[in-house]
Amino acid sequence: MTDKLGGRFTFPGTGSEVNRMGYGAMQLAGPGVYGPPKDEDAAIAVLREAVEAGVDHIDTSDYYGPHITNQIIKKALYPYPENLVIVTKLGARRPEDGSWQPAFSAEELTTGLHDNLRNLGLDTLDIVNYRVMGDPTGLGRAEGSIAAQIEVLAGLKEKGLIRNIGISNATANQIAEAQTITDIVCVQNNYNLAHREDDALIDDLAKQGIAYVPFFPLGGFTPLQSSKLSAVAAALDATPMQVALAWLLHRSPNILLIPGTSSIAHLRENLAAAQLAVPPESLTELDGIVSGLSVSA
């Protein structure tokens, strides 16, 4: 990619245009995304560096911490730049044991919305994703109607508390169901070089002009591992993680990236991936190694 931050994308029907390389704030909380970070000043510095570098799309949630991540974002960036799009999520809660639990009743969704507004210091949220908790682990996907939850978000949108609605950890059927209720501007699912089950979905969303935002673009808590990925990276004088991000930007023009980090050095590495020129033969090689990729601690 030759564009500084991967080129631009406009969320459908919103007029909100962002750089394709954004930032995910999950890692700004403490270990296990629970409690405060060891160094809040360092977390604030990462956010400010990201925005100064041109990041105008930040992904967050008030259940990160809980509350901690949004409070840090406010401390670091408020009053927010006019062009900054903050995307948050509803649908989960973090009890004192640090577990991830569903929170999808109308009362829980409404409370979560107001928690986000209060801790971010906003009157209206740019984009809110409904996070489907799926299987019991919270990470996998499971079919089932989400109409009731999307209707709650649509009602909050009518009240002016939400500008746009997205969906996270959803199946194609759930996305289609949500679209019968309200416009969906983005889908946020688990996808990377090792997890390619959404290939057809990405292409379908691209035809509709809907953003696809991979969470865990680098494998999440267990980074991607592949000898072939490492070989491509060495040939390009880049890190494997930079190549994995660059591959995602090449994969489809509707893909937006939100790699997270609590380190300025890693932030700079991630942002530099948007400028990495990957030759067609290297992209072909990366396309073909999914079966040999794994995630490893």
In sign, the C-alpha dihedral spanning 81, 183, 162, 46 is negative
Give the largest CA-CA distance in the chain: 53
Task: Give the distance from CA 253 to its chain's centroid.
Answer: 16
Report whether 266 contacts 242 (CB < 8 A).
Answer: no
23 part of the active site:
no
Q: For residues 61 and 125, what is the distance between their CA atoms, to the nearest angstrom?
A: 11
Q: What is the CA radius of gyration of the chain?
A: 18
Please choose, from the candidates 110, 101, 105, the residue with its C-alpha nearest in 3D space to the C-alpha of residue 66. Answer: 101
Q: For residues 15 and 248, what is the distance between their CA atoms, to the nearest angstrom?
A: 24
Q: Which helix (H) or strand (E) holds 53?
A: none
Q: Which of 23, 34, 63, 64 is catalytic?
A: 64
Q: For residues 22 and 10, what is the distance between their CA atoms, to the nearest angstrom?
A: 13
Active-site residues, by number, are: 64
